[in-house]
Amino acid sequence: MIEESFEARGKRKKLIDELRGKGISDEKVLEAMNRVPRHLFMDDAFLKHAYQDKAFPISSGQTISQPYTVAVQTILLNVGKRDKVLEIGTGSGYQAAVLAEMGVKVFTIERQRELYRKAQTLLTSMGYRIHFFLGDGYEGQPQYGPYDGIIITAATAEVPEKLLKQLCIGGRLVVPKGGRDSQVMTLYSRRGEDDYEITTHGFFVFVPMLKGIVNGRENEQ
Ligand code: SAH
């Protein structure tokens, strides 16, 4: 357990109550979020805002998701202890930490080397045992699949077929689907070899899912 101030704990408790007020009622997810010190995932400039229910910039032009969004995606995944989950878009690593707190085996892919390195260093130092990959999430990570859950934390107009095929039968894939300005949170539940039930769960805004790997420090989006 990471040492942290009484103040940070108090602020986090208030954030959790705020999420309850916004209709998040899954206590397992709220408890997991209450255990993750979100301020450790934020850039110094935004530290004092760590427990606001907002997305904030992290390095490489990316964002740490809004806590409400993290709660919604985690609830939709509906995973249990020891399930295998693949995350596309490690970013700050916050969502991966919340999933690890749920007792899930987390595999997470990031396309930007700098973020991949930062998240891996931070989460490993916090004691999380998560599998990190630098790669293109469009390909997934078939050698560790199939997964009980796949969570895409970047916007895409089309869900890659390769990812749907890496789901177990009975598995769930959560994705913000749409164009640049807004996306619809979409849940694919795999019912059979080629049978997916699709449901939608409100509008959100994510940074785009892009192809290829970024190795340098270029401020690409
Ligand atoms: N889950 C993150 C939010 C990340 S923002 C968190 O909790 O902080 C979206 C991330 O997806 C960015 O870091 C972006 O670089 C990454 N990304 C975009 N396209 C990708 C792809 N094809 N493969 C892997 N990561 C991708």
pLDDT tens, residue by residue, 126-157: 999 999 999 999 999 999 999 999 999 999 99
| Shortest-distance atom of ligand 1 to CA 138 | 22
- For 150, the 3-state DSSP assignment is strand
Report the distance separating Cα 70 and Cα 134, nearest Å: 22
Q: Considering just the CA atoms, what is the radius of gyration of the chain in Å?
A: 16
Report the distance separating Cα 191 and Cα 166, nearest Å: 13
Q: Tell whether ligand 1 has an atom less than 6 A from the beta carbon of residue 86.
A: no
Half-sphere exposure of 173 (CA within 13 A, CB side): 27
2 pLDDT higher than 90:
no
pLDDT at 202: 97
221 pLDDT higher than 70:
no
Q: What's 213's DSSP letter?
A: -
- For 182, the 3-state DSSP assignment is coil
Report the distance separating Cα 176 and Cα 169, nearest Å: 21
| Shortest-distance atom of ligand 1 to CA 211 | 22
pTM for this entry: 0.96
E strands of the chain, at which residues?
56-57, 63-64, 84-88, 105-110, 131-134, 147-152, 167-178, 183-192, 195-204
Structural domains of the chain, ranges and CATH numbers in brackets: 65-204 (3.40.50.150)
pLDDT at 111: 97
- Ligand 1 atom 20: residue of nearest CA: 209
220 pLDDT higher than 50:
no
Higher pLDDT, 218 or 32: 32
Q: Tell whether ligand 1 has an atom less than 6 A from the beta carbon of residue 109.
A: yes
